[in-house]
Amino acid sequence: MSLNNACSLSFATVHSENDHEDNTTNLNLALDRYKDMLTTCPKDKGWVNEDLYIYKGFWHFNFLWGVFSLEAMMTLQHTFQAQPTDIYLITLPKSGTTWIKALAYAIVNRERYKNNTLSSHPLLTYNPHKCVPFLETEFFGKTSVYTDGCLPRLLATHIPYSSLPQSILDSGCRIVYMCRNPKDVLVSLFHFSNKLRDKSRCRMAFDEAFEMFRKGVMPYGPYWDHVKAYYNFSLEHPNNILFLTYEDMKENTVNKVKLLAEFLGCAFTKEEEARGVVDEIVRLCSFENLSEVNKHGDFREGVPNDVFFREGKVGDWRSHLTDEMTKVLNQITTEKFHGLDISFEVGSLERN
Ligand code: PAP
């Protein structure tokens, strides 16, 4: 990969120029089914302001941030053309999305900003979510915003494995999956949701949040099914997908950042390491730095930049969950992850 061509805030058309007729037919059928489904499928009032709907066993927004996100996801399944050079950052919400976006963006674009990191790096001005768009919301429907034709395309998504556009799986592109201890995901989602709730909707109690999470009701959840499907995919395709945990990234940031760069095809050279480039990227993307940069302003209407930065710690669940709640979530995790080498103890993913 040539770092000189790395991508800055790059969007390109979602629709392939050679959209096949079959795809159009399949898409129309899927969208018809979707319209029927919306009237009958299980739905839940959700965590923030939007209802969640079940699609293929996972909970989804129908409408989010100005996009019909379920419809967008279905459309993407039939029309999106991944490229072998693409990089996809996949997470469940509250699992380290903002951080991994910042890190991947800084790594892939480091040549571009090497002379002005301290003053005008985009991450010192823009929320990482602006630098790396979400496939299903920010990217969908855009045709030429920020198009500068550079490669690789760096995109993020929360879409579950079973609904990922097939072209992403077939293209052989790189996927980074980051997951986090479910108990910390629950706590993070609880605070995030309460901050974003409309004034007309009262704050959610932690008991209520726990109950929803336990039942699997969270955007793009159930948590366990999302993680497990990508974990299994990573076992089958170890060269295409890097499976990371937030906990490991937190504990071994420098090593994991080097590993990430290597996986993304742009390993740090000895000379870069000696110049302190790795440390600089770690500092640039640190919670301390990014939370300061994003103290003010809005990511979009009703979504302040600072809502993506709260504590940035491992283990905050200890100050929220009762012993009984801990027992219940531990038990579900043990059962669901039985036979899988997934643990949120630091250093547990030795194969990485
Ligand atoms: P999203 O899916 O809505 O984008 P996401 O970024 O995955 O959210 O998760 C937010 C969590 O990551 C927050 O965790 P907390 O609520 O437990 O504090 C947030 O503080 C944390 N976070 C954001 N940026 C960073 C960072 N640079 N380093 C470490 N943690 C971070």
Rounded mean pLDDT for each run of 10 residues along the chain, 352 residues in total: 38 43 71 75 85 91 76 84 93 98 95 71 92 83 48 91 94 97 98 89 93 96 98 95 96 97 97 95 97 94 94 96 96 94 65 36
How many CA atoms lie within 13 Å of 62's alpha carbon, on the beta-carbon side?
18
Which run of H or of E encompasses 330?
Answer: helix 323-336
Q: Does the beta carbon of 184 lie inside 6 Å of ligand 1?
A: yes
Q: Does the beta carbon of 93 lie inside 6 Å of ligand 1?
A: yes
Query: Among the CATH numbers 3.40.50.10490, 3.40.120.10, 3.40.50.300, 3.40.50.1000, which is that of 86-336?
Result: 3.40.50.300
Measured in angstroms, how far is the CA atom of residue 211 from the centroid of ligand 1? 22
Q: For ligand 1, atom 26, name the residue with the nearest CA.
A: 287
pTM above 0.95, yes or no: no
Q: Does the beta carbon of 287 lie inside 6 Å of ligand 1?
A: yes
pLDDT in the model for residue 4? 39
Break the chain into its structural domains and give their ranges: 86-336
Place of tokens 């990191």: 117
Place of tokens 């302001």: 49
Measured in angstroms, how far is the CA atom of residue 331 from the centroid of ligand 1? 25
Rounded CA separation 68/75 (Å): 10
Q: Does the beta carbon of 91 lie inside 6 Å of ligand 1?
A: yes
136-150 burial string, b = 16+ CB within 10 Å, else e? Answer: bbbbbeeeeeeeeeb
CA dist 275 to 252, 278, 280, 302, 303, Å? 20, 8, 9, 41, 38
Rounded CA separation 248/234 (Å): 17
Rounded CA separation 307/291 (Å): 9
What's 137's DSSP letter? I
pLDDT in the model for residue 148? 46
pLDDT in the model for residue 129? 93
Yes or no: say if 294 and 125 are a contact pair by the CB < 8 Å rule. Answer: no
Rounded CA separation 135/142 (Å): 10
Pocket test for ligand 1, best of 61, 65, 94 (most atoms within 8 A of CB): 94
Rounded CA separation 274/279 (Å): 10
For 72, left (φ over 0), alpha (ψ -120 to 50), or beta?
A: alpha
Measured in angstroms, how far is the CA atom of residue 120 from the centroid of ligand 1? 23
Measured in angstroms, how far is the CA atom of residue 244 from the centroid of ligand 1? 15
Rounded CA separation 164/159 (Å): 6
Radius of gyration in angstroms for the set of CA atoms belonging to the chain, rounded to a whole number: 20
Phi, psi of 121 (to 5 degrees): -65, 135
Contacts of 246 by beta carbon, 8 Å cutoff, 6+ apart: 95, 96, 99, 178, 179, 180, 181, 184, 314
Phi, psi of 275 (to 5 degrees): -75, -10
Q: Which of 121, 158, 226, 237 is catalytic?
A: 158
Looking at the DSSP assignment, which residues form a beta bridge with residue 59?
A: 54
Is 121 known to be catalytic?
Answer: no
* Helix intervals (H) in 200-276: 206-214, 223-236, 246-251, 253-263, 270-275
Q: Does the beta carbon of 95 lie inside 6 Å of ligand 1?
A: yes
